[in-house]
């Protein structure tokens, strides 16, 4: 009976858009991993199935149960993040992964979900406009994991926490005065940020302005990515027929640059289709936020929308050469077990908020 009631209150446009993105991931992964490690496609399909099970389990329990558990999940995620520099595995010059029981785990993905849930719990029911003390407290909740992730180093994922915090604080009632004051402080501090960045991060910013200053080094990936996308033209070269992909010119094509594979093999039609699916997903998330009578549910939906929307925007802008390369995966499409499971969990929370709104 309960299962039937949940299915009747599903947000089906959100569900269909999400499933199509995951199906696109599975199909594209077969091509993207064929010359890297064909087993990655099998693993990705397995993670999608595990993620869907997690999604249904979260809907069944309800989002309030998860926001109640948010402090404990946040503390556990913080412990795992703190453990990364001591026991983490280094890949591509960064230490972001832990190996537990034979599985590779990325704690930053856990902290994204934990931070959204904890902020929703913390900010719900606060006075409007938010008191300065509340703004500072919420900033600390998002800022602590962002700092630890930045030190891995992972600048791209650290900025996701900034996007989550800004969207949720604004939705909770942060005043324009506080917002402008923080913007002014950022403008003063920003020039100093250049000296904090690692050498390779500076190179990425310089290459963003002109990829051809280092075509065989820092600029290589973005040059190959734009060639792949451009060569797809309108309808693409066809599945398993992309030259940049199949001839291994395009690095990280199964993870951060999977959208380049979509552009090469499916062309403008396929690339635009992926954007449309994300627009549907995010518009439904915003609608769920707007119709939720519970402040906690509303803030939760806003935070999840900011997380997924910002990450998708940065990834697609990055692979098209419109934004600097910062190593952010495409949600629901790039390879990654931790990412897929926790993104599916986020979708389950959205569906749970929608279900609770309809049930009253």
DSSP 22-83: HHHHHHHHHHHTTTT-THHHHHHHHHHHHHHHHHHHHHHH-HHHHHHSHHHHHHHHHHHHHH
pLDDT at 196 over 80: no
Of residues 69 and 248, which shows the higher confidence score? 69
Q: What pLDDT does residue 219 have?
A: 75
- The predicted pLDDT at position 360 comes to 62
Q: In the prediction, which pLDDT does 21 show?
A: 97
pTM for the full predicted model = 0.92
User: Which tokens sit at 82?
Assistant: 């703190």
Say yes or no to pLDDT of 84 above 60.
yes
Lowest mean pLDDT among 104-113, 245-254, 267-276: 245-254
Say if CB 207 and CB 218 are below 8 A apart: yes
**Could you tell me the pLDDT band of residue 201, with boundaries at 50, 70 and 90?**
low
pLDDT at 64: 92
Per-residue pLDDT band at 187 (split at 50, 70, 90): confident
Mean pLDDT score of the chain? 88
- Say what the pLDDT of residue 125 is: 85
What tens digit of pLDDT does each residue of 121-147 get? 999 988 888 998 999 999 999 999 999
pLDDT of residue 216: 65
Tell me, what's the pLDDT at 7?
67
pLDDT at 3 over 60: no
User: What DSSP line would sit under 162-216, residue for residue?
Assistant: HHHHHHHHHHHT--HHHHHHHHHHHHHHHHHHTTTS-HHHHHHHHHHH-GGGSTT
pLDDT at 194 over 70: no
Q: How many CB atoms lie within 10 A of CB 324?
A: 18
* 258 pLDDT higher than 90: yes
Q: What is the pLDDT of residue 273?
A: 97
The answer to whether the CB of 300 falls within 8 A of the CB of 67 is: yes
- Banded pLDDT at 180 (limits 50, 70, 90): confident
**From CA 9, how far away is CA 184, in angstroms rounded?**
44
Residue 102's pLDDT is: 67
Which of 58, 254, 256, 86 minimizes the C-alpha distance to 156? 256
Residue 333 reports pLDDT greater than 70: yes
User: What percentage of residues in the chain have a pLDDT greater than 70?
Assistant: 88
Are 150 and 327 in contact by the 8 Å Cβ rule? The answer is no
Residue with tokens 């569900």: 15
pLDDT at 43 over 80: yes
| pLDDT over 60 (residue 159) | yes
Residue 8 pLDDT more than 80? no
Alpha carbon distance 61, 96 (integer Å): 30
What SS3 class is residue 233? coil
Q: Which of 63-72, 126-135, 243-252 has the lowest mean pLDDT?
A: 243-252
Instruction: Tell me which of 4-8, 55-59, 232-236, 352-356 is least confident.
Output: 4-8
pLDDT at 1 over 60: no
Confidence of residue 20 (pLDDT cuts 50, 70, 90): very high
């Amino acid at each position: 009976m309960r299962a039937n009631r949940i299915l009747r209150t599903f947000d089906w446009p959100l569900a269909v858009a999400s499933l199509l993105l995951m199906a696109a991931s599975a199909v594209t992964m077969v091509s993207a991993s064929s010359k890297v490690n064909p087993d990655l496609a099998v693993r990705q399909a397995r993670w999608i199935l595990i993620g869907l099970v997690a999604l249904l389990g979260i809907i069944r329990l309800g989002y309030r149960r998860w926001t109640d558990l948010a402090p404990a999940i946040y503390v556990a995620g913080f412990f795992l993040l703190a453990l990364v520099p001591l026991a983490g595995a280094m890949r591509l010059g960064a230490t972001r992964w832990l190996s537990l029981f034979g599985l590779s785990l990325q704690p930053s993905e856990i902290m994204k979900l934990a931070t959204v849930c904890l902020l929703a719990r913390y900010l719900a029911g606060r006075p409007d406009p938010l008191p300065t003390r509340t703004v500072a407290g919420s900033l600390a909740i998002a800022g602590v994991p962002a700092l630890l992730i930045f030190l891995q180093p992972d600048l791209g994922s650290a900025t996701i926490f900034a996007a989550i915090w800004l969207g949720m604080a604004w939705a909770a009632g942060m005043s324009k005065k506080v917002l402008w004051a923080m913007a002014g402080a950022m403008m003063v501090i920003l020039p100093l940020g250049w000296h904090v960045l690692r050498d390779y991060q500076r190179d990425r910013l310089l290459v963003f302005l002109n990829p051809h200053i280092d075509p065989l080094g820092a600029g290589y990936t973005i040059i190959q990515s734009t060639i792949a996308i451009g060569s797809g033209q309108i309808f693409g070269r066809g599945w398993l027929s992309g030259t940049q992909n199949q001839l291994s010119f395009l690095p990280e094509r199964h993870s951060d640059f999977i959208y380049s594979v979509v552009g090469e093999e499916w062309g403008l039609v396929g690339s635009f289709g992926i954007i449309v699916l994300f627009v549907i997903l995010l518009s439904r998330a915003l609608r769920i936020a707007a119709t939720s009578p519970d402040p906690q549910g509303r803030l939760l939906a806003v935070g999840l929308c900011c997380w997924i929307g910002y990450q998708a925007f940065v990834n697609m802008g990055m692979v098209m050469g419109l934004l600097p390369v910062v190593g952010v995966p495409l949600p629901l499409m790039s390879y990654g077990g931790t990412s897929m499971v926790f993104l599916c969990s986020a979708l389950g929370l959205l569906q749970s908020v929608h279900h609770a709104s309809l049930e009253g």
